[in-house]
Amino acid sequence: MKKLNVISRKYWNRQPCNIKHSKKKLFSKEYFNEVSKKRYFVEGHIKNFVNFKKWKNKKVLEIGFGIGTDAIEFLKNGAKYNGIELSDKSHEITKKRIKIFNFKAESLIFDEAENLSKHFSKKNNFDLIYSFGVLHHSSSLQKCLREIYKIMSPKTELKVMLYAKNSYKYMMMKKKFLRYEAQKNVPVIDFYDHEDIKKLFSKFKLKEVRQDFIFPYKITPYKKNKYVKVEHFKYMNKNIFNTFRENLGEHLLITARIK
């Protein structure tokens, strides 16, 4: 395994993403439901980007499923779900979560994204390959994309979210006005602009690349499940805010196919 991925695995095993989104009994139905509620309340654009209902009876692969929040949405909507995850802790939580909700995944692989083609091929005939907020933490985005390309068929749609360099959050972070992540000391984070995406996805046919999502809340209350907006967002006109997130959003939402 790549050295950076070893470091990342240790980190995400200590604190799986979104694991503190609920104070309910750990890994109960109520706990997982609250985790989902908070994720989609704060990041409502995820559902618009993915359109979970679209993948009913379709074959889906998620790269980096974390504690399984999006996995459950795919399964609820009737997708034939497959996933791969770097963190063994998150892998175990998602297995438990799927069982609690009486769903069944086609496969849940414990490995790094750089090894995708060891587990899957074009013969899997995926309708969707999806990764949200994961690949910018990998040891090599280029290698991950090469592996993804190997297993895509002409019908496969690829949907990926990467962190945007030309964003409000990145600029504020560089000026040290804000910490980037709610979780501290994330070991690997990369950022990209539209030109980077054109180069990285040169073998792909890009259907859409757009920016979305401004996190308007103060971190400390947010970690306690309280939604207190930063002052300048609290008083900002909604239309201005929407223009702001569409041009300086921290999430690059990429949709592509193979050429």
Q: What is the CATH number of the domain that holds 100?
A: 3.40.50.150
In angstroms, the CA 47 to CA 33 distance is 16
Q: How far apart are the first and last CA of the chain?
A: 30
User: How confident is the model over 12-62, as pLDDT tens digits?
Assistant: 999 999 999 999 999 999 999 999 999 999 999 999 999 999 999 999 999
For 148, list phi and psi in degrees, rounded to 5: -60, -45
DSSP state of 217: B
The answer to whether the CB of 192 falls within 8 A of the CB of 252 is: yes
Residue 94 within any structural domain of the chain: yes
In angstroms, the CA 99 to CA 128 distance is 23
For 81, list phi and psi in degrees, rounded to 5: -95, 135
DSSP state of 43: T
Task: Provide the domain limits for residue 49.
Answer: 3-162+188-209+250-258
Residue 19 within any structural domain of the chain: yes
Residue 177 within any structural domain of the chain: no
Residue 133 within any structural domain of the chain: yes
Residue with tokens 């309280």: 226
CB atoms closer than 10 angstroms to residue 229: 13
Closest to 55 in 3D by CA, of 76, 85, 33: 76
User: How confident is the model over 101-148, as pLDDT tens digits?
Assistant: 999 999 999 999 999 999 999 999 999 999 999 999 998 999 999 999
The answer to whether the CB of 25 falls within 8 A of the CB of 96 is: no
Residue 225 within any structural domain of the chain: no
Residue 236 within any structural domain of the chain: no
User: How confident is the model over 237-247, as pLDDT tens digits?
Assistant: 999 999 999 99
